Amino acid sequence: MSKPVRIGLIGYGFMGRTHSNAYSQVGHFFPKDSVTTGHHIVRQAVCGRDEAKVKAFAEKWGYASYETDWRKLVARPDIDAVDICTPNDSHAEIALECIKHGKMILCEKPLALNGEQGEKMVTAVEKSGLPNLVWYNYRFLPAVTLAKNIVAAGELGRVFHYRANFLQDWTISAELPQGGAGLWRLDAAAAGSGVTGDLLAHCIDTARWINGDITEVSAVTETFIKERTHTATGKKQAVTIDDAAIFICRFENGSLAQFESTRYARGHKALYTFEINGEKKSLQWDLHDLNRLNYFDHGVPGDRRGWASIHTSDGDHPYAGNWWVPGLCLGYEHSFTHELAEFLKSLDDPKAPKAYPDFRHALGTQYVCDAVLESARTRQWVKVKKA
């Protein structure tokens, strides 16, 4: 008999919607007989501070009830797992409260404002033994998982290079305020950092997953607009987030890498790309064409050698067989459903290796982000702590 996992969702913004979509889809596409065997999702409650809005959200997305105070939701005996979809400055406080109440936790990234906060979360959750997940969702796109599988099988031979970009252009206007709904990302008190924790964190998570730990970094950051009006005070205040961050680094396996992220790349909305170059093969991926994995195999005879573009929509590609028929595309939203399916699968078999990032994995990424910011501040190479 399948056991319910009664979800309490906190925050009904962008991520609240993507996760709610995954909660409603996972049982249809990853049914008992394929990935998950013993657990199913129940949309039990959603929490937001505005009663009219949270009530409307609960009705629209099929939650049985709502709360306006997250502490009440966390304390409810009819909630098994709490999903933290609030800005970064609240992740640690909510997660620690969940642990006190014995709730499983699904937390949005970045794990915390910094490594110090993250360490407290990891210590507490590991002591409790509660299942915990962080939504580094890009891992779960079929093409990205395929890249991971190819590298894990040793097909690239020795890896020399990794490079990744995450480029946007939505903060170029000096008139854009900082703080408040939608714009908390520009306020370091709420976000912890700028593009480093918001965008680079995704690139770092994927890179560590595919290519192993990063050992040391050298970074440069810039804040292009130095003052913005704060939504809360109506006054001009110093901007303390990084608008752009670029770093080079070394991986434990001896490979070198470069990463770049900015919200000032005019024309780019969410251009996340990565490339990995090995002795025998290279792989390249682009979020704007997310179903394709570009693949160069030096083993092919010279006159046929070239970049191939694998459309990862066939039944034998990761996750693709659970959806439509070969050749049809999946999108950004499916990555969340796949990560959730892995979480449910792990509840069925807690001793099996986890196929999703947990708090400790996310702490490793947090340490790289911290090192990037420290290196930019000190203009020195910085060694990365091991999680």
Ligand X SMILES: NC(=O)c1ccc[n+]([C@@H]2O[C@H](COP(=O)([O-])OP(=O)(O)OC[C@H]3O[C@@H](n4cnc5c(N)ncnc54)[C@H](O)[C@@H]3O)[C@@H](O)[C@H]2O)c1
Question: What are the structure tokens assigned to 12, written together?
Answer: 């009904």
Out of 20, 44, 132, 137, name the contact with ligand X by CB under 6 A: 137
Closest approach of ligand X to the CB of residue 233, in Å = 18
Out of 4, 180, 182, 315, name the contact with ligand X by CB under 6 A: 182
CB contact set of 242 (below 8 Å; sequence gap of 6+): 193, 194, 195, 196, 221, 222, 223, 373, 376
Kindly state whether residue 135 participates in binding ligand X, applying the rule CB under 6 A: yes
Kindly state whether residue 295 participates in binding ligand X, applying the rule CB under 6 A: no
Give whichever of 88 and 211 is closer to ligand X, judged by the CB atom. 88
Closest approach of ligand X to the CB of residue 8, in Å = 11
Looking at 10-18, 96-104, 152-160, 290-298, which segment touches ligand X (CB under 6 A)?
10-18
Q: Report the SS3 class of residue 101.
A: coil
Out of 12, 209, 323, 359, name the contact with ligand X by CB under 6 A: 12
Closest approach of ligand X to the CB of residue 133, in Å = 11
Q: Report the SS3 class of residue 184.
A: helix
Residues counted in the chain: 387
Regarding beta strands 292-297 and 281-286, do their DSSP bridges make them parallel or antiparallel, or are they unpaired? antiparallel
Site for ligand X in 85-124 (CB under 6 A): 85-88, 90, 108-109
Closest approach of ligand X to the CB of residue 231, in Å = 12
Closest approach of ligand X to the CB of residue 379, in Å = 27
Closest approach of ligand X to the CB of residue 227, in Å = 22
Give whichever of 46 and 146 is closer to ligand X, judged by the CB atom. 46
CB contact set of 174 (below 8 Å; sequence gap of 6+): 225, 228
State the Cα–Cα distance between residues 366 and 387, nearest whole angstrom: 9
List 245's β-bridge partners, or say none: 221, 261
Kindly state whether residue 48 participates in binding ligand X, applying the rule CB under 6 A: yes
Measured over the CA atoms of residue 136, residue 141, residue 142 and residue 144, the dihedral's sign is: negative
Site for ligand X in 68-87 (CB under 6 A): 70, 85-87
List 315's β-bridge partners, or say none: none
Q: Report the SS3 class of residue 140.
A: helix
Burial class from Cβ neighbours inside 10 Å (0-12, 13-18, 19+) for residue 301 reads: exposed
Give whichever of 52 and 352 is closer to ligand X, judged by the CB atom. 52
Q: Which residue is nearest to ligand X (CB)?
A: 13
Give whichever of 164 and 310 is closer to ligand X, judged by the CB atom. 164
Amino acid at 91: H
Nearest in space to 203 (alpha carbons), one of 382, 368, 23? 368
Size of the site for ligand X (CB under 6 A): 23
| Residues contributing to the site for ligand X (CB under 6 A) | 10-16, 47-49, 70, 85-88, 90, 108-109, 135, 137, 181-182, 198
